[in-house]
Copies of this chain bind each other. A is one copy, B any other.
């Protein structure tokens, strides 16, 4: 490994600079006006894969393209590792809260601030550089590598599963390696053991055929914004649990060992609250903060809009109200079932004088891993060598719906090794990524590829 690590150490300035080029491309998959930029990010990445010794290809889908890279030099008896990441990013709004522009990477205090730096372009690009370090130094990889980078993760990966099914033979692998999660704390690397799923809905409440004067009509007709508030308020019980009949039917009650392991992690509610400038935390009764984040489901409004929201007092009775409502799911909940339960819940409410529509925008199943076995051990060793600290198993509050799909469709084991840090403003203004983690993490990944050579192929 010494050649590989020396090459990495000698290339860090260029590795940063190239990541910044990648981050400058506004590959916002949710907004069609950025479609050309999103494709440009795919093309940029494909070119860099070539420089890392992979045969790269851009494969069109019904939506944004998939970048596929392959290195089969290890031969048919070696294990195959599929590296997955995404080159698309969340919309950057609200823009006025960014200290520096979201698509102009800016270094401050050992961090780079930019949309996509942590989620996921920065982390995806670490793999490209770790592979390049082998290729450039002529160090053979003991594994075959297939990399797929998609451009639709932030909009629910609508075309990825069909792609995986269609190309299942070409994508056949033993391990699916993903760097789209975080470390538990600065200096404390982590390997993931769970992810939450997602069921994301847009609820529309409609009233009259136009907005009305709140004096001329108020009191005689239902107000869609009041009704929408009633719907949203009905989703929670007083104890912070979710008040939809049947919602917890499929929620796994975790074993005491897992809960004890979670409880053993260094954590302070006071510090967690202080970092967010909150005077108190809030959540489901009976569970600690890490449990609320990792092994319990949620219901959060992500956006709500109705009527007049500009300056001053416009006395309008709006005829339409919309909310985006996201449920984070835990094993063994299923987003399709949640849609049925939500529909039934809203149908039972007394909502006179309006019509209600619920659309599912995004769904993904939750995931949990075994924390034993050669892949998990390889990751632990590689992280400890690179960071000098033994990693901890870590739950994930976020969702990478494709993880479950990969495991099922490819009959492989997923391995989550991520490098973002708590507070890095994922999906929010001022997203950042630690430059130390970027640089140490490239070394960790290069080591990990070598250690994964131990995994028995085809099992």
Residues of A whose CB lies within 8 Å of any CB of B are 30-32, 90-91, 93-94, 97, 154-156, 182, 196, 198, 200, 207-223, 225-226, 228-236, 238, 272, 276-284, 289, 292-293, 296-318, 321-324, 326, 328, 350, 352-353, 361-362, 396-399, 422, 425-430
Residues from chain B with a CB closer than 8 A to the CB of A155 are 312-313
CA distance A426 to B215 in the complex (A): 9
Most buried by B among A32, A219, A324: A219
Q: Which residues of B contact A307 (CB under 8 A)?
A: 301-304, 324
26 residue pairs bridging A and B, Cβ less than 8 Å apart: A30-B310, A93-B314, A196-B215, A200-B313, A200-B315, A208-B278, A210-B276, A210-B425, A210-B428, A212-B427, A213-B426, A217-B293, A219-B284, A225-B232, A225-B303, A225-B323, A226-B299, A226-B300, A229-B229, A278-B353, A301-B321, A302-B315, A302-B316, A303-B309, A303-B314, A313-B361
* A314 engages B302 (CB within 8 Å): yes
Assess the A213–B30 pair: CB atoms within 8 A: no
CB distance from A272 to the nearest CB of B (A): 7
A-side binding surface: helix, strand, loop or mixed?
loop
- Whether A308 contacts B214 by the Cβ 8 Å rule is no
A399 to B213 alpha-carbon distance, docked (Å): 11
Across the two chains, which residue of chain B brings its CB closest to A32?
B311
Name the CB-closest residue of B to A362.
Answer: B313
Task: State whether A303 touches B308 (Cβ < 8 A).
Answer: yes
A232 contacts which chain B residues (CB < 8 A)? Answer: 225-226, 229-230, 233
The residue from B156, B233, B317 contacting A300, defined by CB atoms under 8 A apart: B317
Report whether B218 and A298 are in contact in the complex, using a CB–CB cutoff of 8 Å: yes
Residues of B close to A311: CB separation below 8 A: 30-32
Q: Give the one of A200, A303, A352 with max B CB within 10 A.
A: A303
Given the interface pairs A213-B428, A293-B219, A299-B226, the reply to whether A93 lies near B310 with Cβ below 8 Å is: yes
Given A216-B398, A276-B212, A428-B210, A301 and B318 touching (CB < 8 A)?
yes
Interface centre among A200, A214, A222 (most CB of B within 10 A): A214
Q: How many chain copies does the complex carry?
A: 2
CB closest chain-B residue, reference A431: B213
Q: In the assembly, what is the distance between CA of A152 and CA of B305, in Å?
A: 27
A225 to chain B, nearest CB (A): 4
The answer to whether B314 touches A214, judged by C-beta atoms less than 8 angstroms apart, is no
Cα–Cα distance between A221 and B399 once the two chains are bound (Å): 18
Query: Which residues of the other chain, B, contact A210 by a CB distance below 8 angstroms?
Result: 97, 276, 425, 428-430
A220 touches B304 (CB 8 A): no
Given contacts A208-B276, A304-B321, 14 further A-B contacts (CB under 8 A): A32-B311, A97-B211, A154-B313, A200-B313, A210-B430, A216-B422, A219-B297, A278-B353, A280-B353, A281-B353, A282-B352, A305-B305, A315-B326, A315-B398
Select from chain B the residue with minimum beta-carbon distance to A238. Answer: B350
Q: Which residues of B contact A212 (CB under 8 A)?
A: 276, 427-428
- Cβ B220 vs Cβ A292 within 8 A: yes
Tell me which of A210, A313, A350 has the highest count of chain B C-beta atoms within 10 A of its own C-beta. Answer: A313
Q: Which of B219, B276, B299, B361 contacts A328 (CB 8 A)?
A: B219
Question: Which B-chain residue is minimally distant from A306 (CB atoms)?
Answer: B304
A418 to chain B, nearest CB (A): 12
The complex places the Cα of A401 from the Cα of B162 at a distance, in Å, of: 63
Given contacts A219-B283, A219-B328, A361-B312, contact A427 B214 (CB under 8 A): yes
Nearest to A289 among chain B residues (CB) is: B220
Q: Which residues from B are CB-within-8-Å of A292?
A: 219-220
Docked CA distance A30–B429 (Å):
30
CA of A425 to CA of B212, assembled, Å: 6
Q: Are A314 and B427 in contact (CB under 8 A)?
A: yes
**Interchain nearest-CB distance for A115 vs B (Å):** 12
With the chains together, A294 CA to B398 CA distance in Å? 51
Q: Given the complex of chains A and B, what is the CA–CA distance between A339 and B194 in angstroms?
A: 48
The CA of A210 and the CA of B212, in the complex, are separated in Å by 34
A30 pairs with B229, CB closer than 8 A: no
Q: Are A213 and B277 in touch, CB under 8 angstroms?
A: no
A352 to chain B, nearest CB (A): 4
Assess whether A233 is in contact with B229, with CB atoms less than 8 Å apart: yes
Instruction: Give chain B residues whose Cβ lies under 8 Å from the Cβ of A280.
Output: 352-353
Chain B residues with Cβ under 8 A from A223's Cβ? 300-301
